[in-house]
A and B are shown apart, each in its own frame.
Chain A
Amino acid sequence: MSTARPFLRWQSLDLQVSSALPPELDIQLREFWQTRAGATGREVSLTLGPLPPPRDAVTQRVSLLERPLEIRVAADELWLGEQLWARTGPLNAEVRCRPDGASPEVWALMFTELHRAGGWLPLHAAVVASGSRAVAITGVSGAGKSTAALRLSAAGMQVIAEDRAFWHPASGEIRGLDTHLRVYDDSLARFAPERLPGAVAWERDGHGKLRIPLQTGSPQATRLVQLLLLRPAELDLLTPPERVRVLWETTGVPLTFTARQQVQRGVAQLLRLLSPHPLTREQVEPAVRGLLAFTSPAES
């Protein structure tokens, strides 16, 4: 039996969220997952209460930053530890949270899976846009995605994601969920010195990085035109299997049945947008400038 509460309604990508969670928990979720632009086409209800018992579920353990988590999956049903349960699908979903809440990291897994089931591919990538065109830059943590985004921002381009983006293969639209770009002081001084005077007003994250506010809720839909791979050193062309591996590392592994079907289709489409040429930090800025400056006849 779930606790009866009036539903709060908000939007995450094209997902209409109806939340009966306590207001303090709902606010935390909105901070990470609420988006404002675009139409909704799917619905999810979030309620508080005991989780249904797992039935015929396959169990796996994953390592999160906080602690290991036991994940159980039965087709489109998902249990994340003892904290969250969901039944997902392409259009509608329901999520139940245990009465004492769930950690933000576990909620992140859940929302990511909900969006996968709705046909969105999560991309661990910085995204930079100019007009309606966007380029995503992926690479392992520490490869220089944030610094590349900072440099491109200083060059007049709009940063729409630092490393949390979702791409919708059916429409080509890409959306960012980050509200800030996090950079160290020396990166700011080196790559965007004209923004130094504003730094006094910015907060810092737990690592001491400056949190530069990003413009969220882009006034126009942006379409992904290319995915670039950032590598610390110059490397040869990616082989076809390496390209596939890069894509799965960029989007992560789906858990439930519908999400797996959607993501497999999406990865096949994203393969066409991945450049086989890995780029170094020095090469990425001119490459993105060139890609965003080009306008095809269909777009003009």
Chain B
Amino acid sequence: MWQANAEVLVTALDDELVLMHPTSNQMFSLNPSGRLVWQALPRTEAALAGLLTAQYDLSPEQAGQDVHALLLDLQNRQLAFLT
């Protein structure tokens, strides 16, 4: 199960979401599909990929790759973690 770091500071900016790590102050912008994934947390990677497939015109393979890449990026930035 993937979870958001509860201490991340979130600012909605039109249809994007800007995440800021509270101690490093690093910022990370999520586009609408990233925003959809972030706001669905906590969920499994498969469930998140399913969300993308349902919302966008993506094949399950492509949605799985996109979600995987995003989650790893979020994890590397300590914005989300796997429990």
Q: Which residues of A contact B (CB under 8 A)?
A: 58, 60, 240-241, 243-245, 247-248, 253-254, 257, 260, 263-264, 267-268, 271
Please pick, from A247, A257, A268, the residue contacting B12 in the complex, using a CB distance under 8 A: A268
On whether the beta carbons of A244 and B20 are closer than 8 Å, the reply is yes
B83 at the interface (CB under 8 A from A): no
On whether the beta carbons of B7 and A247 are closer than 8 Å, the reply is no
On whether the beta carbons of A247 and B23 are closer than 8 Å, the reply is no
On whether the beta carbons of B23 and A244 are closer than 8 Å, the reply is no
Chain A residues with Cβ under 8 A from B66's Cβ? none
On whether the beta carbons of A264 and B27 are closer than 8 Å, the reply is no
Closest 9 pairs between A and B when the two form their complex, measured CB to CB: A244-B18, A244-B11, A240-B13, A253-B22, A241-B29, A267-B11, A60-B23, A268-B12, A241-B18
Q: What is the distance, in angstroms, from B56's C-beta to the closest C-beta of chain A? A: 22
In angstroms, Cα B80 to Cα A89, docked, is 26
B39 at the interface (CB under 8 A from A): no
On whether the beta carbons of B25 and A248 are closer than 8 Å, the reply is yes
Q: What is the distance, in angstroms, from A270's C-beta to the closest C-beta of chain B? A: 10
Chain A residues with Cβ under 8 A from B16's Cβ? 240
Please pick, from B6, B10, B11, B25, the residue contacting A247 in the complex, using a CB distance under 8 A: B11
Question: A-B contact count, CB below 8 Å?
Answer: 41
29 example contacts (A-B, Cβ-Cβ < 8 A) are as follows A58-B7, A240-B13, A240-B14, A240-B18, A241-B13, A241-B18, A241-B27, A241-B29, A243-B13, A244-B11, A244-B20, A245-B20, A245-B27, A248-B9, A248-B11, A253-B9, A253-B22, A253-B23, A253-B25, A257-B6, A260-B9, A264-B9, A264-B10, A267-B9, A267-B11, A268-B11, A268-B12, A271-B11, A271-B13
Q: What is the distance, in angstroms, from A127's C-beta to the closest C-beta of chain B? A: 22
Chain B residues with Cβ under 8 A from A244's Cβ? 11, 13, 18, 20, 27
Q: What is the distance, in angstroms, from B67's C-beta to the closest C-beta of chain A? A: 23
Chain A residues with Cβ under 8 A from B20's Cβ? 244-245, 248
Q: From B17, which residue of chain A is reached at the shortest CB distance?
A: A244
